[in-house]
Amino acid sequence: MTDTLIVIQAASGELGKSDLSAVGFGLELASAAGGQLDLLLLGPGAEAQAGPAAALGARQVFTMGGAELETYTAEVFAGATAFFLEGRSYRCVGAATNSASREYFPRLAAVLDAPMASDVLEVESVDPDRAVFTRAVFVGNLLATVELEAPRVLVTCRASEFEPPPSSEAAPIEAVDAPGGLAHPGKAFVGIEAATSDRPDLKEADIIVSVGRGTRGPEEGIPLCERLADVLDAALGATRAVVDAGWMANEFQIGQTGKIVAPEVYIAIGLSGSIQHLAGMRNSRTIVAINKDPEAPIFEVADFGLVADLFDAVPELTAALEKRSG
Amino acid sequence: MSPLIAAVVTREILWNVPSWARALMYLLFLAALAVCVLGIVRKVRAWRKGRESGVSVSAAKALGRLWRDAILQARIWRSGAAGLSHALVFWGFVVLFIGTCIVALEDYGGWLLGREHLFFTGNFYLGVSFALEVFGIFFLVGLVLALARRKAGGGFRPLNRRIDIALLWLFLVIGLSGFVTEGLRIAAAGGGMEEHPYERWSFVGWGLAVCLRGVEPALLELCHLAVWLLHMVLSMSFIALIPYCKLRHIFFAPLNIALREDRKAGRYEGVSLEEVEETGRYGVATKADFTRRQLLSFDACTECARCQTVCPATTTGKPLSPMKVVLDIAGAEASADSLHGEEISPDVLWACTSCGACVEECPVYIDQLGAIVDLRRHLVAEGEIRGSAQGALRSVGAAGNPWGMPREERASWSEGLDVPTIEEEPSPEVLFWIGCAGSYDRRSRKVTEAMVRILKAAGVRFAILGKSECCTGDPARRMGDEFTYTELAGTNIETLSAASFERILTTCPHCFNAIANEYPDLGGDYEVVHHSEFIEELISTGRLELDEVAPIRGTLHDPCYLARQNDVVEAPRSALRSAGLEVVEPEQSGKEGFCCGAGGGRMWMEEDTGERINSERWRQLQETEPETVAVGCPFCMTMMTDARDSVDSPVEVKDIAELVAERLPASPS
Amino acid sequence: MKLLVTLKRTPQRDARIRIAEGGDSLDLDNIQFEVNPFDELAVEEALRIRETLGEAEVVVVTVGGEESQQQLVSAMAMGADRAVRIDGGGTLDSLQIARALAAVAAREEPDLVLSGKLAVDDECGQVPAMLAGLLGWPQANQASSIELSADGASVTVVCEVDAGLETLRLDLPALVTADLRLNEPRYASLPGIMKAKKKPVEVLAIEELCDPGATRSRVTGFRALQEKPPGAILGSVDELAEVLVEKKLI
Ligand SMILES: Cc1cc2nc3c(=O)[nH]c(=O)nc-3n(C[C@H](O)[C@H](O)[C@H](O)COP(=O)(O)OP(=O)(O)OC[C@H]3O[C@@H](n4cnc5c(N)ncnc54)[C@H](O)[C@@H]3O)c2cc1C
Ligand code: SF4
Ligand code: SF4
């Protein structure tokens, strides 16, 4: 009981970036426990992904497909994983945090009667009867140490906190047949509508580039900020002044009478930081401000400030970040 | 008909009116009276379904009010042509009515006492006749003026133009037919004009008679009877109509004026939490939830539209018109399940800035704002307060300020400024109440800091509460959340009562209003001054000296909660003049000022219908061509600054305290 | 129809949480609490379903001490009909809580259980799915819309998943968790609060309901994420880019 299993949702034929990180996380778990890592690929893309997955340092790769696993549902995935675990012993069963593992992992935990740690940032230690992790609580304002006392634990990880593993020798691949009757008779998948916007949603974005009156509108500064947002894969936000001027639509307004956001990074460009605006973003983890007026109140809440003309600074920053990210 | 009238200076009452017509008159009169009384009784019954109001008014006070606001029409005069036209019609009507009474008294009195004449003779007759002519003309001129105003249109939007105009015509025809009847009588009665030269005193009738000279007396008599009938029938229909249209104000307006409650518009009627607990009712859902006095007041509405003309919401295209709210309530069936609906919608109710302009303007003292707040309370009771307004209420309750800023940062502004807290300065002359904006809003903090400089320069012993200060509850109360208000006010009263100080000083008129006018109802009695008053006092008592400078041209935007609700009009102006401002008044200023748009909880709601109120106000202020716009309220500051920035104007927006602080003599150090 | 809403007492959303001296607990003195915002969405949704049906019972349930009574009252002030509080005594982990709730669900036999997708304090988001697992009911997570079928036998739920919006149909009984866009909760009103005080709250000791098992997951310590530096004014764009990349902010 020192081995680790990482479960990967193989919806398509290609391993996702977060899946790679999850494997990295799995390797950390396995080494902390002094055991080996196995991977379980679930879903229609399992076979196609098995090859690349086998070259990530795992001991073995299992795949499970079939009609019932064609579309993901929490009931089927929890059932399939539970079935797979029957007769196999793992110290840790893990996955990357995503909308699927957020629901099927706890369901699985209930079925298996195993304690679970969600969305961990760090692996502290994995002993035979105790596993210790670090995770964020209170909107990421604090870190908590969580101890799970059980011979088998479930754990999901925040993918961005773990490195994808270097490639290594190919591991053996084994196809496991899915049992019948996994699907819950009371649940039907009706359909999925793919997200249309090419930018992340304001409320969920990790990074927000927010523009103020200082940008002087869609003909001048706003495109510069959009470029920066593109490079950062950030959402765009705006002050009411920008919305009132008709430069951006209502839905972009952040603040007291707009949206209330708390991203990891909030980049405020050419906005003064009125209390009405602060009311909507002051809980952001890190606030960066670019403003040419050193007296602008936004600097009082900013973690990092740059007193500069945005028309110079924003393109420069975009270029610098582009260069760094290669 | 004996033609010996000339012997006595008088006239024959009901001359040329055959007995069938007299009978008809009495019949119609009785019918009209019955219809009228029925209408009134119905109204009174409807009022009685309301809650008991309690407070009573002394007779002397009631009479005083009637004299001022009914007889002298004091409030009506304010509105120019409309005021003139109403006063003319009113006085005309009153005197004509008295005239009719005199005639009736003479007639029936004589009949009862078996005498031919009582008192309606000689000089009295002539005097009365003359007065009736004069006031009859007033009446007609007033009506013509009113009709002309409606023709011209303008900002006047009465609820039902057709009925409104029909009523004016009804009066006009009654008035004109009265004069024509008189003219025909003078021309034809008792041997004609030559026999009664004294009828010249009835100069209008006389003039008409002159024009009719030479016409066949029989024809005159026939015409007289016809016109008299018209006059009589219309007058009777008027009596019958009174309770069924806006004319009802003839009865109810004086009643409301006499009986109204004496309450500042900024001091809201409290709610007994025990009562809410008992009945489960809070705010107004149905007509019966209003007090009787309120129900009476809505029926007093004259549909004059003065309130909506001054309402910042109506004038900038919001769905709210205070007049319409009043009339919708008055017009609703007493049995209706709910007043709320399409007409009185949440959008209508939330549009109010609680500026009180309507209340100040209403000639018959209807409290539209009070009604709106009562209706809002129902929305709150139903949980129908969403979005940013709900967010502000939650923050106020949880964090003690509407922006949800941390409590522990409330006094952060004072760091490094050497500002004593009440613990450090236990018995100060003034307790400086900072307010939420003054504590957290970085723009308003500058005002707070300026005030601190002024206090120090004047050597005032002052202190702040520091972190134990919290929101006065004003936003909650204006939005209709008495629960949160009572809790916050209770906490503050506890804090304040534990401290010792002479007066409370505040830079926020909303805090001022709440503490000065509303806290006493909860047992917190304090003397409160607004900083403009205090600065003015420091200057006039020589405690504060300011540098002389060349005056700059500026204007003052009066905060509603200072000028209108609390009558502080002169102090800010005089403080500004001392600070070197040449104060140019905008058209709407002082107690008649136009709201900035932030009151009544609007500060926490988006304004996406119609014109922005702050932009409209900014436009008005710009007509004075100021270099500086002075404000005396943190909300006005935000609103005026935002309006200025949206048009990219170079005009400065500064608080009175900042303008004064700029003139402090440079300290010797 | 009966709707069961699970809720948790969490610190007020604007509150600044500090770590108590010693580092193994939080300093929660002077902190105000409220109904976990996501649970509040669940309560609102239950009330809306009741409104569309005209008749339904909304029962709120929490696992917590005496102090969480207040949050039950808040939910009843919004309009829930009655409340159940399971007194757990001491710290319970997600699975224990889910077990207690499953026992309540077995007793109450609701048609639909609604929960928030996550509690904003520990941010685990485990209990609802565990509860569904224990009950063996179909579940839908992070709902942005819930629609009851005309015959009242199933719900169609739109879920916010990473790939977009997924539509599921669940036969009742089922469990659905609420996401931000599901609705906008009403304000717990004054008369509501008054009325709520008179509504019944049933208090049950956890042992009366089930064998919760041992606590196997616990938080043993807290650390502040590196204290925010006092706002640094940087000298150049390069420096800013540097900081952003170095601090793994980007
Ligand atoms: C009821 C109400 C609700 C409101 N709700 C909201 C809300 O929800 N959200 C909101 O944002 N606002 C809200 N406001 C408006 C708020 O008061 C401010 O007006 C607004 O936030 C200001 O927007 P801004 O910072 O873009 O503009 P400004 O305050 O004009 O700031 C522009 C900034 O850009 C800087 N700048 C200019 N040129 C350059 C340059 N070339 N390079 C760098 N910097 C430059 C300037 O120094 C200045 O600091 C509300 C106001 C009211 C009255
Ligand atoms: S208080 Fe002001 S905004 Fe409200 S109805 Fe009256 S005039 Fe209009
Ligand atoms: S409420 Fe008053 S001001 Fe408004 S229309 Fe009626 S009488 Fe006129």
Express each pLDDT in B219-245 by its tens digit: 999 999 999 999 999 999 999 999 999
Which residue, C149, C165, C169, is CA-closest to C157?
A: C169
Q: Report whether B351 contacts B320 (CB < 8 A).
A: yes
Contacts of B647 (CB under 8 A, 6+ apart): B615, B618
The string of pLDDT tens digits covering residues A271-282 is 999 999 999 998
Q: How far apart are the first and last CA of chain B?
A: 104
For residue B605, give the chain A residue with the closest CA. Answer: A257
- C-alpha span between B490 and C35 (Å, rounded): 24
The whole-number pLDDT of residue A160 equals 85
The whole-number pLDDT of residue A197 equals 64
Amino acid in position C197:
K
Q: Where are the alpha helices (DSSP H) in A213-274?
A: 221-232, 240-244
The whole-number pLDDT of residue B3 equals 43
The whole-number pLDDT of residue C226 equals 65
Is the CB of C20 inside 8 Å of chain A's CB atoms? no
- C-alpha span between B330 and B296 (Å, rounded): 9
The string of pLDDT tens digits covering residues B134-178 is 999 999 999 999 998 888 765 555 556 788 889 999 999 999 999
Q: Tokens 């399409």, residue?
A: B342
Ligand 2 atom 4: residue of nearest CA = B352
Please give the distance, rounded to the nearest whole angstrom, from the Cα atom of residue B643 to the centre of ligand 1.
12
The string of pLDDT tens digits covering residues B120-136 is 888 999 999 999 999 99
DSSP B266-303: TSPPP--HHHHHHH---S-SSGGGSBHHHHHHHHT---
The whole-number pLDDT of residue B261 equals 86
Amino acid in position B282:
Y
Ligand 2 atom 5: residue of nearest CA = B322
Indicate if the pLDDT at residue A134 is higher than 70.
yes
Quote the tokens at residue C151.
């015959």
B422 and B323 within one domain = no
Q: Where are the alpha helices (DSSP H) in B337-418?
A: 346-350, 357-361, 368-381, 387-399
Indicate if the pLDDT at residue B593 is higher than 80.
yes
Indicate if the pLDDT at residue B424 is higher than 80.
yes
Structural domain that includes position B320: 277-381
Q: Tokens 């869609």, residue?
A: A218
Is the CB of C244 inside 8 Å of chain A's CB atoms? yes
Amino acid in position C111:
D
The whole-number pLDDT of residue B582 equals 95
B247 and B281 within one domain = no
Which residue, B262, B264, B261, is CA-closest to B509?
A: B264
Q: Helix, strand or coil for residue B547? A: coil
Looking at B251, B267, B299, the residue that finishes a domain is B251
ipTM given for this complex = 0.93
Indicate if the pLDDT at residue B56 is higher than 50.
yes
Q: Residue B382 and residue C189: Cβ atoms within 8 Å? A: yes
- C-alpha span between C79 and C82 (Å, rounded): 9
Bridge partners of residue C145, in order along the sequence = C158
Looking at B538, B565, B585, the residue that finishes a domain is B538
Amino acid in position B430:
V
Q: Identify all chain C residues contacting B408, using CB atoms and an 8 Å cutoff.
A: 16
**Rounded mean pLDDT of chain A?**
93
B85 and B206 within one domain = yes
B651 and B604 within one domain = yes
Q: How far is C195 from chain A (nearest CA, A)?
A: 31
The whole-number pLDDT of residue B227 equals 96
B509 and B453 within one domain = yes
Overall average pLDDT of the B1-27 stretch:
78
Indicate if the pLDDT at residue A6 is higher than 80.
yes
The secondary structure element, H or E, covering residue B51 is none
For residue A301, give the chain B residue with the closest CA. Answer: B442
- C-alpha span between A238 and A248 (Å, rounded): 7
Q: Is B318 part of any domain?
A: yes
Q: Report whether B546 contacts B664 (CB < 8 A).
A: yes
Quote the tokens at residue B456.
């120090």
Is the CB of B393 inside 8 Å of chain C's CB atoms? yes
- C-alpha span between B100 and B131 (Å, rounded): 12
Quote the tokens at residue A61.
């790769």
Percent of chain B with pLDDT strictly greater than 90: 77
The string of pLDDT tens digits covering residues C23-56 is 888 998 888 899 999 999 999 999 999 999 999 9
The string of pLDDT tens digits covering residues B552-575 is 999 999 999 999 999 999 999 999
Which CATH number characterizes residue B447's domain? 3.40.50.1860
- C-alpha span between C212 and A137 (Å, rounded): 25
Task: Walk across the sheet containing B552-556 and list its strands.
Answer: B581-583, B552-556, B628-631, B652-655
Q: Identify all chain A residues contacting B440, using CB atoms and an 8 Å cutoff.
A: 275
Indicate if the pLDDT at residue A325 is higher than 80.
no
Kindly tell me the number of DSSP H helices and DSSP E strands found in chain C.
Answer: 7, 15
Q: Half-sphere exposure of C66 toward its Cβ, with a 13 Å CA cutoff?
A: 0
Overall average pLDDT of the B444-464 stretch:
97
Contacts of B8 (CB under 8 A, 6+ apart): B117, B121, B122
Is the CB of C35 inside 8 Å of chain A's CB atoms? no
The whole-number pLDDT of residue B13 equals 86
The string of pLDDT tens digits covering residues B282-332 is 999 999 999 999 999 999 999 988 999 999 999 999 999 999 999 999 999
Which of C34, C71, C190 has the highest number of chain B CBs within 10 A, making it the mutation to test binding with B? C190
Q: Identify all chain C residues contacting B380, using CB atoms and an 8 Å cutoff.
A: 187, 189-190
Which residue, A155, A135, A167, A153, is CA-closest to A20?
A: A167
Which chains, if any, share at least 3 CB pairs under 8 A with chain C?
A, B
The number of distinct structural domains making up chain B is 4
Overall average pLDDT of the C175-193 stretch:
90
Q: Report whether B478 contacts B600 (CB < 8 A).
A: yes
Give one word for B371, left, alpha or beta, with left for phi > 0 and alpha for psi -120 to 50. Answer: alpha
Give the largest CA-CA distance in chain B: 104
Strand pairing class (B581-583; B552-556): parallel
Q: Residue B381 and residue C194: Cβ atoms within 8 Å? A: no
- C-alpha span between B323 and B555 (Å, rounded): 31
List the single residue in C174, C216, C240 with the smallest CB-CB distance to A115: C216
Sign of the dihedral through C-alpha B243, B245, B250, B254:
positive
Please give the distance, rounded to the nearest whole angstrom, from the Cα atom of residue B390 to the centre of ligand 1.
23
- C-alpha span between B226 and B188 (Å, rounded): 14
Quick one: pLDDT band at residue C207, thresholds 50, 70, 90?
very high
Quote the tokens at residue B475.
């936003």
Interface of C with B in 47-86 (CB under 8 A): 78-79
B518 and B561 within one domain = no
Domain boundaries of chain C, sorted by first residue: 2-246
Q: How far is B489 from chain C (nearest CA, A)?
A: 16
Is the CB of C246 inside 8 Å of chain A's CB atoms? no
Percent of chain C with pLDDT strictly greater than 90: 74
Please give the distance, rounded to the nearest whole angstrom, from the Cα atom of residue C2 to the centre of ligand 2.
44
Q: Is B58 part of any domain?
A: no
Angle (nearest 5°) at CA C138 between C132 and C139: 65
- C-alpha span between C240 and C234 (Å, rounded): 7
Q: Helix, strand or coil for residue C244? A: helix
Strands (E) across chain C are located at 2-6, 9-11, 18-19, 26-27, 33-35, 57-63, 82-87, 112-116, 139-148, 154-161, 164-171, 174-178, 201-205, 217-224, 232-234
Which of B278, B289, B376, B380 has the highest number of chain C CBs within 10 A, making it the mutation to test binding with C? B380
CATH assignment, C2-246 = 3.40.50.620
Q: Is B89 part of any domain?
A: yes
User: Going from the N-terminus, what domains does chain A have, and what CATH number goes with each?
Assistant: 4-175 (3.40.50.620), 207-324 (3.40.50.1220)
The whole-number pLDDT of residue B160 equals 63
- C-alpha span between B369 and B358 (Å, rounded): 7
B228 and B108 within one domain = yes
- C-alpha span between C27 and B153 (Å, rounded): 67
The string of pLDDT tens digits covering residues A69-95 is 999 999 999 999 999 999 999 999 999
For residue A208, give the chain C residue with the closest CA. Answer: C250
Cα dist from B310 to B54, B153, B262, whole Å: 31, 16, 22
B573 and B496 within one domain = no
Q: Identify all chain A residues contacting B392, using CB atoms and an 8 Å cutoff.
A: 256
Q: How far is A215 from chain C (nearest CA, A)?
A: 17
The secondary structure element, H or E, covering residue B45 is helix B19-48
Q: Identify all chain C residues contacting B271, using CB atoms and an 8 Å cutoff.
A: 190
The whole-number pLDDT of residue A13 equals 85
Q: Is B49 part of any domain?
A: no
Q: Identify all chain C residues contacting A313, using CB atoms and an 8 Å cutoff.
A: 237
The string of pLDDT tens digits covering residues C232-247 is 888 899 999 988 887 7
Cα dist from B385 to A279, B51, B483, B600, whole Å: 19, 26, 14, 13
B216 and B171 within one domain = yes
The whole-number pLDDT of residue B4 equals 44
Quick one: pLDDT band at residue B7, thresholds 50, 70, 90?
low
Q: How far apart are the first and last CA of chain C?
A: 49
Is the CB of C217 inside 8 Å of chain B's CB atoms? no
The whole-number pLDDT of residue B666 equals 79
Tell me how crowded residue C127 is: count the other CB atoms within 10 A of its CB: 26
Q: Residue C12 and residue B281: Cβ atoms within 8 Å? A: no
Contacts of A23 (CB under 8 A, 6+ apart): A6, A8, A37, A39, A53, A56, A57, A58, A164, A165
Residue B468 gets which letter from DSSP?
A: G
The string of pLDDT tens digits covering residues A175-218 is 999 998 999 999 999 999 886 667 888 888 889 999 999 999 99
Cα dist from B402 to B64, B381, B393, B436, C71, whole Å: 43, 20, 7, 8, 22
- Phi and psi at residue A120, in whole multiples of 5°? -80, 155
B286 and B224 within one domain = no
Cα dist from B126 to B8, B121, B132, B135, B340, whole Å: 12, 8, 10, 14, 57
Kindly tell me the number of DSSP H helices and DSSP E strands found in chain A.
Answer: 9, 15
Which chains, if any, share at least 3 CB pairs under 8 A with chain B?
A, C
Contacts of A115 (CB under 8 A, 6+ apart): A109, A148, A149, A150, A153, A154, C93, C94, C95, C216, C217
Contacts of B484 (CB under 8 A, 6+ apart): B393, B396, B397, B473, B476
Ligand 3 atom 3: residue of nearest CA = B362
The whole-number pLDDT of residue C164 equals 86
Is the CB of C180 inside 8 Å of chain B's CB atoms? no
The answer to pTM > 0.95 is no
Please give the distance, rounded to the nearest whole angstrom, from the Cα atom of residue B602 to the centre of ligand 2.
12
- Phi and psi at residue B350, in whole multiples of 5°? -75, -10
Angle (nearest 5°) at CA A271 between A268 and A275: 95
B497 and B639 within one domain = no
Would you say the CB of residue B70 lies under 6 angstroms from ligand 2? no
Q: Helix, strand or coil for residue B606? A: coil
B608 and B514 within one domain = no
The string of pLDDT tens digits covering residues C126-176 is 999 999 999 999 999 999 999 999 999 999 999 999 888 999 999 999 999
The whole-number pLDDT of residue B156 equals 56
The whole-number pLDDT of residue C137 equals 97
Q: Which residue has the higher pLDDT, B355 or B668?
A: B355
